[in-house]
Amino acid sequence: MLMEPNSVGLVEPRLYAFGSPEAPLVLDSGRTIGPVELVYETYGQPNAERSNAILICHALSGDAHAAGIHDPHDKRVGWWDNMIGPGKAFDTERFWVICANVIGGCKGSTGPQSINPASGKPYGGDFPLITIGDMVTAQKRLLDHLGIKRLFCVVGGSMGGFQALEWSLRYPEQVHTVICIAAGAHLSTQGIAFNAVGRHAITTDPDWQGGHYYGTAGPVRGLASARMVAHITYLSELKLNRKFGRRLQSADRLSYDIHNEFAVESYLNHQGTRFTERFDANSYIYITKAMDYFDITRTYGPLKEAFARKKSRFLVISYSSDWLFPTAQSREIVRALIAGDRDVSFVDIDSPHGHDAFLIDIDQLTRTVSAFLDGSQRSQPLESKPPAR
C-alpha cells in the first residue's frame, strides 16, 4: 500500500496482561475477571516526563488500530488515520498517542471469546456484564503500566465520548483535557431501544446457542440484522436521501421481489454481511449493554454537581444532523460545565453525515481539535524532547 507522507506508517499491536484468578479485576457489578489482556497501539514518542500522552477511546465497533498499517500489503489504514500522525490533529511529532481495544471487545482484549480459566473454554455467554467504567478502569491499569501519571488529553467519539467523560469523573486528577465528540451524558431511550432490537436479533437467532457458539458458524444472521438497524442510526435522513433516495436496483423498474428491491436495502444488507466478517456477536451484546448502562447522573449525581470539582479543560463537539446523539445532549453537558465554572469550549459542526460525521468530516474537526490542543498546551507546557533511548 502506498502510504501518504504524514502517515504513522507501520505499527505493531502490543499486549498488556494484568490480574489473575486470585487477584482479578473487580467490575462495577461486583463480578470479577482475571487475567485481563488489553491490545493497544501507540503512535509518536513519550517525552521525558510522559506528560504528552493522548488516549484515544474507540466507538462500539472500533478497536486499537486507530492509525497506520500493520503490514505493507494492508488495503486499509486505522479507523482514525486521518486524525493521527505528523501535522494532523493529534500530531505525533508533539504527542504520544495511545489507543486500546476495550475489554468485552473482540479485537484481542479480554472478552467473550477469551478463555475462561475456570472452564478452559471461551467465556461465551458466561462473560460478566461490563460497564463503561470497567473499560476505563482497565485502561487506567494500562496507563499505569506505561508510566503515565497524567493524561494530556483523553478523547473519543460516540461510545469513545462516554469513556472520555468517565475518565474525567473517575480519575479527575489524572486528566488535563477532555474532548467529547458526538456523545452525551447518557444514551437516550431511543438509543437503548435500537440496541435492544439488535440484541434481540442476535439472541433469537437459533445459532446463538446462549452465547456458546464458538467453533460453529454462530448467529451471523442475527448479527447482520443488528448491524443493519444500528447502521441506520449512524446516518442522517439527508445522507440516505442523497445517496439512495427511492432508487431501485433494477433499472428503476419494480421487480416485485421481497428482497433487496431498493438500493438502500442492498446497501444495508451489504453492511450487515461485512460486519459479521469482522465482529463477534457476543461482543456486540456486551458492548451495547455497557452503553445502555452509562448514565452520569445515576453514578455521580446531577451533572452540575458531578462536574463541579473537575479540573479538566473540556471540548464538546456535536454534529447538526446527528440524531443518535443530537446537539441538545452535548449542550446539556456544556451547560452543566458552565454552571460548575468549568473551562469548556463547544462547537456544533454543520454536517450532512449524521452520527458518523466524526469519522468523515475531518477538515473542520481537525481545525477545532488542533486549536483546542494548542491552547491547552499553552496552559500546560510539554517537555520538548523525547526521553533518551
- Catalytic sites, residue numbers: 158, 322, 355
CA–CA separation, 16 and 223 (whole Å)? 29
CA–CA separation, 231 and 242 (whole Å)? 16
Distance of CA 44 to the CA centre of its chain: 21
Evaluated on CA atoms 329, 335, 341, 343, the torsion sign reads: positive
**Cβ-contact 183, 158 below 8 angstroms:** yes
How would you classify the pairing of strands 96-100 and 36-43?
Answer: antiparallel
Q: Is 40 exposed, middle or buried (0-12, 13-18, 19+ CB in 10 A)?
A: buried
**Cβ-contact 253, 217 below 8 angstroms:** no
**DSSP 3-state of 189:** helix
**DSSP 3-state of 33:** strand
CA–CA separation, 363 and 118 (whole Å)? 49
